[in-house]
Structures are given as structure tokens and as C-alpha cells.
Amino acid sequence: MRYFILGYMGSGKTTLGRALSLHLEVDFIDLDALITSEIGSSIVSFMEDKGELAFRKVEHNVLERFLTSDREDVVVALGGGTPVFYNHMEALNASGTTVFLDVSVVELARRLEKDVDRPLIKDKDDVAEFVAKHLFERRPFYSLAQHRVKGDAITVEAVLEAIG
């Protein structure tokens, strides 16, 4: 079985994905790490040099290769924007179990405020306002996930309960 963890940046996708993979005794993959390996630089540097559209094309190609691979028994932490582009949510739902980590704007802003390695919030004066607007735009895509876990302190147990 494949499990795809999605949600806004700072929602805990990587942290919970790793913990869930340990609990389920399956492999863990961070899509951002696969992309970083592919581009040979940090995502921040790549986006500064080539822009978000070029990044989304690479992200799409890396995800598509993974989805057509025979990798099973894995938990995958997606990037925050991955579900929004191309037909990713349809493809993810067809390929495994999707779980949306639904964390409040206030908590996301608190977590992200001092994180200067996030290209989309770098140089933003009002992180909470940016997160609120951006999350509003992305929520329709996130809401296509098969399961939703809501809260500001989501646990592995809560994710396990949601996926039954």
C-alpha cells in the first residue's frame, strides 16, 4: 500500500510521514528529497534561479516516475504545492491512500514565521496573511484527499484512526 501525506507547508508532512512509516514498518520517501536529488541543488536555489513553474515541471516528472514505479509499502510526504498542479490529486488517489493534514492558519504561521528556507514565504512581511490566502487557494485541492486529519498537534495515532 502507498500512503501519501499532503497539506500546507509546515503542517508536519515529513515528521508525521516518517513516524507513520516507522509504525507501519514500511519505507519513507520525502518527495522534496527526490526532487533535490534530481536537480542537484536546493529547492530554494532552483526556484530563485529558474522560477516556480520550472520547479513544478520537475516536481511533476519526479512524481510521475514514482507513481509509475513498482514501489509499494511506502509512506510519501508530498510538497505543499504538489496536489495543486497538473492532475496530481487524481493520480495520487488512484495510486494509494491520500491523507490531508489540516492544520490551522494560526499554527501554520507560528511554525513558519522563522523558517527562512521556504521559498514561497521568504521575504513576506505578514506570514499569517500570506498563509491564509495561499491555504484558501489550495484547500479545494487538499480537500480531494481520501482522508482528512484536523488539528494543530496531529499524532500518528490520529492518522492511523483516519485511515482505519
* Sequence ranges of the domains in the chain: 2-153
The dihedral sign for the CA sequence 130, 7, 91, 65: positive
Share of the chain above pLDDT 90, in %: 83
Residue 117 has pLDDT above 80, yes or no: no
Residue 116 has pLDDT above 60, yes or no: no
| pLDDT at site 105 | 94
- What pTM value is reported for the model? 0.93
The dihedral sign for the CA sequence 102, 87, 59, 19: positive
Mean pLDDT for 130-136 is 91
Choose between 44 and 12: higher pLDDT: 12
In terms of phi and psi (left: phi > 0; alpha: psi -120 to 50; beta: otherwise), the region of 115 is beta
List pLDDT tens digits, range 34-55: 999 999 999 989 999 999 999 9
Mean pLDDT for 104-122 is 78
| Fold observed for domain 2-153 | Rossmann fold (3.40.50)
Please name every residue paired with 75 in a beta bridge, in sequence order, or none if there are none.
Answer: 3, 28
The Cα angle at residue 85 between residues 105 and 37, in degrees rounded to 5: 95
| pLDDT at site 127 | 81
Lowest-confidence pick of 6-15, 95-104, 105-114 = 105-114
